[in-house]
Amino acid sequence: AVVSTQSTGEEIVFSIYDITMILTACIGNSLVIYASYKFNALHFDTGSVLLIENLAITDITLTIIAYIPKVVTLLSRGWILGPTLCYVTAFGQFIPGATEILTLMLISAYRFFLVHFPFRAGPTLRITKLLITATWSIALVPPVFFILSNRSMAIFDFRTLACIT
Instruction: Show pLDDT as tens, one digit a residue, over the chain (165 residues).
Output: 455 556 778 878 888 999 999 999 999 999 999 988 887 766 778 888 899 999 999 999 999 998 888 888 888 877 788 878 887 888 888 899 999 999 999 999 988 988 898 888 778 889 999 999 999 999 999 888 877 776 666 666 666 666 665
pTM (predicted TM-score)? 0.82
User: Which pLDDT score is estimated for 158?
Assistant: 61
User: Which pLDDT score is estimated for 154?
Assistant: 65
Q: Kindly calculate the radius of gyration of the chain based on its CA atoms and give it in whole angstroms.
A: 19
User: Which pLDDT score is estimated for 46?
Assistant: 82
Cβ-proximal residues to 70 (8 Å cutoff; 6+ apart), any chain: 18, 161, 162
Closest CA to 80 of 5, 19, 16, 156: 156
**Residue 163 bridge partners (DSSP):** 156
Closest CA to 44 of 57, 53, 31, 55: 53
